[in-house]
Amino acid sequence: EKGGYDYFMLKEIAEQPRAVADTLLGRIGRDGRLSLDEMHITDAQLREIDKIVIIACGTSYHAGLIAKYAIEHWAGLPCEVEVASEFRYRDPILNSRTLVIAISQSGESMDTLMAVRHAREQRARVLCICNVNGSTMPRECDGVLYTHAGPEVGVAATKTFLTQLVAVYLIALYIAQVRGTKWGDEVFAMVQLLATMPEKVEQVLSTMGPVRELARSLADVKSVLFLGRHVGFPVALEGALKLKELAYMHAEGFAAGELKHGPIALIEEGLPVIVVVPPRARDVLHDKIVSNIQEIRARGARTIVIAEEGDTSVVPYSDTLIEVPAVPTLLQPLVATIPLQVFSCELATAKGHDVDQPRNLAKSVTVE
């Protein structure tokens, strides 16, 4: 049931604080240490791993891109991410010391399943992050970490994306804990911060009125660009995907540093550009993206800026400023994605589209 909402998607966006909390539940011990026994991988096996490969499609792939930053930083392991549909058509170098992580909400995406089978044939250890109990992928993998988002009915992934992020953070921090990487104190602090994320997500949801208004005002535009850096780059890709699938509009996400290598030619008078700004603590990245915002605005772009609260440096260059709670950079996708979900949902609704059942799409894609 839609619980009083017009669409399942709206209900599922609203459920995100609970979904994030449930996915953390029981995984952080009283002593602040993580336990993920359900993954069926021993500490000894985790110490043997020398590379991580992530495979997924669509929104789950974006969670994988964010996982790469978390795994490389906290766990100190090389990590590759690839769309599942391409993975087995090259010659991926895998062996028993490779940990493959398949991310799939449904556990049924055929592209991801075929990639899992391919990885297992190469003797890699394969783990999956999945939201559906008893689906195919958890049965075919060596271990599974379930996200506890609850059933997602809307075709567009929303709450399951946030819980996938929680799952990948847990895995990255757990590997760091087991392998004792140099970031011991930071890992402990991050686990504590992760536990506070449901409140931050709630806080973002309570400030979405202006985002809805903005979305309605843009219902007639032809195209929207999304820019980000670091983990804000996959967030930009996710924002663009949501807008394509729900509003049937041209939307593209770019790494902001790539602008000058081509995409800046797209900027014209009135083009809406949504920019995800890294926290001020990442001063170099932060300042670079602020100059990108100045550059595109000077060329006529209408700048819609998502930045942490209190970041006054962006105020002079933002046509619309959307503030999100201050959190560490790696965790920022948990708060920065929400305005993009709300934006697409509202814009698509303003165009009269059924956001639960976008044209040409199915909730789980069981063909290759």
| Residues in touch with ligand F6R (CB under 6 A) | 57-60, 104-106, 109, 112, 156-157, 241, 245, 364-365
Q: How far is CA 196 from CA 86, 202, 327, 332, in A?
A: 37, 10, 10, 13
Instruction: Select the residue whose beta carbon is closest to ligand F6R and give its number.
Output: 58
Strands 125-130 vs 302-308: parallel, antiparallel or unpaired: unpaired
Nearest distance in Å: CB 135, ligand F6R: 9
User: Which of residues 119 and 293 has its CB atom nearest to ligand F6R in the complex?
Assistant: 119
| Contact status, residue 111 vs residue 103, Cβ threshold 8 Å | no
- Pick from 340, 356, 354, 326: which is nearest to 208 by CA? 340
User: Smallest gap, in angstroms, from Cβ of residue 209 to ligand F6R?
Assistant: 24
Catalytic annotation on 200?
A: no
The DSSP line for 251-285 is EEEEEGGGGGGTGGGG--TT-EEEEEPPPTTSHHH
- Closer to ligand F6R at the Cβ: 156 or 214? 156
148, 20, 168, 107: CA torsion to nearest 10: 30
67 within 8 A of 73, measured Cβ to Cβ: no
Phi, psi of 68 (to 5 degrees): -55, -45
Q: Which is nearer to ligand F6R, 55 or 218 (CB)?
A: 55
Question: Quick one: 23 or 177, whose CB is closer to ligand F6R?
Answer: 23
Quickly tell me which residue has 């991988």 as its tokens.
41
Contacts of residue 242, defined as CB under 8 A and 6 or more positions apart, other chains included, come to 156, 340, 341, 343, 344, 345
The owner of tokens 């090389």 is 78
Q: How far is the CB of 105 from ligand F6R (least distance, A)?
A: 3
Q: Which residue lies nearer to ligand F6R by CB, 98 or 109?
A: 109
Q: Which C-beta is closer to ligand F6R: that of 104 or that of 329?
A: 104
CB of 259 to ligand F6R, least distance (A): 25
Tell me if 165 sits within 8 A of 334, measured CB to CB. yes
Q: How far is the CB of 297 from ligand F6R (least distance, A)?
A: 30
Per the residue annotation, which of 51, 244, 288, 363 is the catalytic one?
363
Q: Which DSSP string corresponds to 108-142?
A: --HHHHHHHHHHHHTT-EEEEEESSTT-HHHHHSS
Least Cβ distance, residue 352 to ligand F6R (angstroms): 20
Q: For residues 86 and 320, give the distance between their C-alpha atoms in angstroms, rounded to a whole number.
A: 38
Q: Which amino acid is at 89?
A: Y
How far from the centroid of its chain's Cα atoms is residue 213's Cα?
Answer: 24
Q: How far is the CB of 47 from ligand F6R (least distance, A)?
A: 29
Query: Which residues are identified as catalytic?
Result: 363
